[in-house]
Amino acid sequence: MKAHLQKLSKILAMLLLIAAGFSACKKDKVPTPEPKPTETKPTTVASGTIDGKTFNVKDNAISSTVYSTSGDNVKAMETSATIGNDGSKLTFFLNDLKNGTASLSKKSGTSLNPGTRTIKINETSNTSQTYVQYYNGGNAYYAFSGTIEITVTDTYVKAKWNISFKDATGREFTSAGEFTITFATVIAKAKSEIKDPTPVADKPTVENISPTKGRAGDEIAITGVNYSTTAADNVVMFNGKVAEVVSATATKLTVKAPQGGSTGTISVKVKNSETVTGPTFTYLQAATFTSFAPASAKAGETVTITGTNFSTVVAENVVKFAGAQNTTVAATVTEATATQLKVTVPQTAATGKIIVNVLNGGNLTSATDFTLTTTTTTGDWEDMKFNTSIQEVNLSANLGNSFMFMGGSFPDYLYYTADGTSYTNVYANIPKDPNGHLEIHLIKSDGVNYYLTTNQGIFRTKDGVTWKKLLPSPNLPNLNVNALIASRGGNLAFISGGFLYRSADYGDTWTNKYVVNGNNLDYLTSDSFGKYWYAVDISQNYLSAAGPRKMYRSTDQGETWTAGDATTGIYYFGSGNQDFITASGYTIFCLYSTSTTQASIVDQRLYKTSTQGNTWTKVSDDNVYYVKAFGDYVVYGDGRFNVSADNGATFKDYSLPDSYRVGGVERVNGYFYVFAFKNNGQHRIFRRKI
C-alpha cells in the first residue's frame, strides 16, 4: 500500500510539472497582429468610346509626357493612347495641369480655326492651347467642343472627357471616357520642347478627307488651311493623278476622284506653295453579286451572299430583301469579307429578289428569287370525327361553351354543338316562308344570343332549338339583311336599302333612320370598342364599276359616313366568303383583290389598316379564304392556319394533318376549331389549343 501511494505521488508530481510548463508557454506567446488591408494602387489605363466604337487600353498602349520649366509653376501634359489595331490614336494636350475642368475650343491652325501668327506656343508662359486630336486612317480630327475634368494627386492624374469632332464633310461624332496616368510612368521634358501639331503657317495643310475610299467620279471633301477660294488655284492629286476641284473655301476643298486614278496619297498645292500630302485614298473596284445560298430560308435564318469586292466593314454593305406590296426590307449583315456576306433574313421578308449595295456603289440584284420559308408547326390536332358533307367555306359564331356553323353560300345546314364533340343540324328549326326557302347570310353572337341574317330578316336563338324572328321594320317583315353588328349589351345595327336600323334590347325593339348616300352601303362591322364603324359600297364591287373602291367609316354609330383615302378592291362575299372583314382592337383586317383584269377568288389577299381606311398594308401574299378575330387573336388562311396572338402584329402558321385546307375557324374554351376540306370532297373538323 505504501509503495502504491509513493507511485501515485510521483505521477501527480509529473502532471503538475506538465501543467506548469503549458501555462508558461501560454504566457510567453506573442499575439499575431491582424493583416492590414492591401492598398489598391492606381494603374495607367484609358477606356471610352469614339464614333460608336469602344476601347480599353493600358500600360504600353499609353504614353505621357509632363512639360515644366524651372521657375514656372504651370505644368503641361501630353497623353497619347493607341486605341485600335489599325493605329488609331487619341492625344490629349492639357496646357495647365491642375484640378478643375478644361473647356475645349476650336484648335488654332486647323480648318475649324485657321488662327493667327500671334499665337505663342513655346514660351514658358501659359499661352499654349488645350486640345484633343483623334488620328485614324491617316486623318487627323480635332475636337471643337467639350470638356475635360482633371484630378491631380501626388501619384496620378485622372481625366474624364466628353467631346465632339467633325470630319471633312461636316459630320459630327463624339467621344467620352477617362484615363488614369501614374507619375511613375511619365516622361519629363522642358516646356520649350512642346510641339504644336498645327502651327499657323502660310503653306496649305491636309487634315482629313471624307470619304477615305470610293470610286472614280465620287466627290471627296478635303479640310485644312490656306486654300485659295479660287478653285483653279488649288492643285489636288490622287496618287499623282490630277483631280477636278469642284468648290473651294479657305479651309475646305471639294474634289472629284479622277478617272484612271489608283490608291495612294492625296496631295495639295496652292499656287506656288510647296506640295503637301495627306491621307491615302483607296479606290474601290465595282462589287459583283454572283449567288446566294440557301435558295430558301425562314425569317431569322442566315443566308450567305457570294460575289466580289464587298467591303470588309459590315456597316458598309447594305442588303435588302423583298417585302410586302413591292417594298424592300433591310437585312442585318453579321459578317463580311471581300467575297462573302452573311445576312439574317428579316422577320418581314417575302419571296423575291435580294439587293446588295456596297458603299453606295449602286444596287446589285440577284438573278433569281429568294424563297421565304414560313415557320411550320404541325402540333397535335384532334380529329372531331365529323364526317358529314359540308361546304368548303364555313361561317361560325360562339356563345359560351357552344358554337354554331354553317356553309358560306346559301347552306341547307346549321350545326350546333354544346361541347365541340357532338353536332346537331338545327336548320329545320328555323322559321321559313311557306315555300320553305331560306337564304342564310351570316351568323353572329353578342355573348347572350345567336343571330342569323337572312333574306327573310333576322332570327334569334340561344340553343338552335327555339327561334324568334325579329322585326326591325313591321312593314317589311321579310327585310333582306346581309351583315349585322352585334355587340355586348344587346346593341344591334345594320343597313338595308339606305336605312340604318338599330336596337338596344337584343332586337326586341328598333329605330331606323335614313342615311344620306347610304343606299349602297352594306356589310357593317366595327372595331373592338365600337368607336369606328365600317361598311363597303356594294355598287362598286365589280370590275366595270366606275370606282374607286374604298372602305367607308363612321364615327357617329352609322349616321354619317366618310370614304377612307386609300383604294381597296373586290370583295368576294357573294361567293360565300363572308368572313372577309374583322377587327382586333382598332385594327381592321379585310380580304379583297386588287386585280383589274379578272374577278377571281384566287386573287384575294389579306390587308389591314390602323388608320381607319386611309392606308392599307398587305399582311399576306397567300390566297386567303377567311379572316376572323377573337380578342387579341387574329386568324386567317387557306392551305395553312395562320395565328396571331398580338392583334395581328406577327403571325405563326400551323399545318393541318394530311394536307387538309382550312375554310373557316371558331375559338371556344381555348380551342381553335377549323373546318377543313380536301379538293376530293373530304371534310373534317380538327381542333387544338394554341
pLDDT number for residue 1: 41
User: Does the predicted TM-score (pTM) go above 0.75?
Assistant: no
Average pLDDT over residues 539-568: 89
For residue 324, being part of any structural domain is answered with yes
What residues pair up with 133 in beta bridges, in sequence order?
91, 142
Average pLDDT over residues 237-241: 95
For residue 577, being part of any structural domain is answered with yes
pLDDT number for residue 385: 84
Average pLDDT over residues 345-357: 93
For residue 27, being part of any structural domain is answered with no
Q: List all residues 6 or more positions away from 40 whose beta carbon is below 8 Å from its beta carbon.
A: none
Q: Is a pLDDT exceeding 50 seen at residue 131?
A: yes
Q: Decide which of 253 and 577 is more confident.
A: 253
CB 316, CB 337: distance < 8 Å: no
Q: Answer with the one of 373, 399, 425 that is the final residue of a domain.
A: 373
**CA 80 from centre of chain:** 39
Q: The domain that contains 585 carries what CATH number?
A: 2.120.10.30
Average pLDDT over residues 642-646: 92
Q: Is a pLDDT exceeding 90 seen at residue 303?
A: yes
Do residues 217 and 356 both lie within one domain?
A: no
Residue 112's alpha-carbon distances to 109, 144, 489, in angstroms, are 8, 7, 71
Average per-residue pLDDT for the chain:
87
Do residues 272 and 292 both lie within one domain?
A: no
pLDDT number for residue 376: 43
Of the candidates 223, 209, 197, 211, the one whose C-alpha atom is nearest the C-alpha of residue 80 is: 197
The least confident of 15-19, 226-230, 443-447 is 15-19
Encode pLDDT of 659-685 as tens digits.
888 989 999 999 999 999 888 888 999
The least confident of 35-44, 226-235, 245-254, 391-400 is 35-44
Exposure string for 627-653, b = 16+ CB within 10 A, e = fewer: bbbbeebbbbbbebbbbbeebbeebeb
Of the candidates 405, 378, 374, the one whose C-alpha atom is nearest the C-alpha of residue 391 is: 405
Encode pLDDT of 483-527 as tens digits.
899 998 999 999 998 899 999 999 999 999 999 878 889 989 999
Q: Decide which of 334 and 12 is more confident.
A: 334
Do residues 471 and 610 both lie within one domain?
A: yes
Q: List all residues 6 or more positions away from 70 whose beta carbon is below 8 Å from its beta carbon.
A: none
Q: Answer with the one of 352, 373, 394 that is the final residue of a domain.
A: 373
pLDDT number for residue 17: 42
Do residues 58 and 156 both lie within one domain?
A: yes
Do residues 268 and 301 both lie within one domain?
A: no
For residue 666, being part of any structural domain is answered with no
For residue 464, being part of any structural domain is answered with yes
pLDDT number for residue 35: 55
Q: Is a pLDDT exceeding 90 seen at residue 6?
A: no
Do residues 114 and 171 both lie within one domain?
A: yes
Neighbours of 320 (CB within 10 A): 21
Residue 665's alpha-carbon distances to 133, 520, 607, 673, 675, in angstroms, are 67, 29, 19, 6, 6
Count of domains for the chain: 4
Q: Is a pLDDT exceeding 50 seen at residue 33?
A: yes
Q: Answer with the one of 137, 169, 193 that is the final residue of a domain.
A: 193
Q: Is a pLDDT exceeding 80 seen at residue 41?
A: no
Residue 275: domain span:
208-283
Do residues 51 and 160 both lie within one domain?
A: yes
For residue 630, being part of any structural domain is answered with yes
Do residues 90 and 114 both lie within one domain?
A: yes
Region of residue 645 (left: phi > 0; alpha: psi -120 to 50; beta: else) = alpha
pLDDT number for residue 2: 43
What residues pair up with 626 in beta bridges, in sequence order?
637
Do residues 612 and 513 both lie within one domain?
A: yes
Cell 489608283 belongs to residue: 262
pLDDT number for residue 554: 94
Average pLDDT over residues 288-295: 94
Do residues 81 and 183 both lie within one domain?
A: yes
For residue 17, being part of any structural domain is answered with no
For residue 387, being part of any structural domain is answered with no
CB 505, CB 491: distance < 8 Å: no
CB 146, CB 161: distance < 8 Å: yes
Q: The domain that contains 365 carries what CATH number?
A: 2.60.40.10
pLDDT number for residue 118: 46
Do residues 260 and 274 both lie within one domain?
A: yes
Do residues 242 and 277 both lie within one domain?
A: yes
- The pLDDT > 90 percentage for the chain reads 61
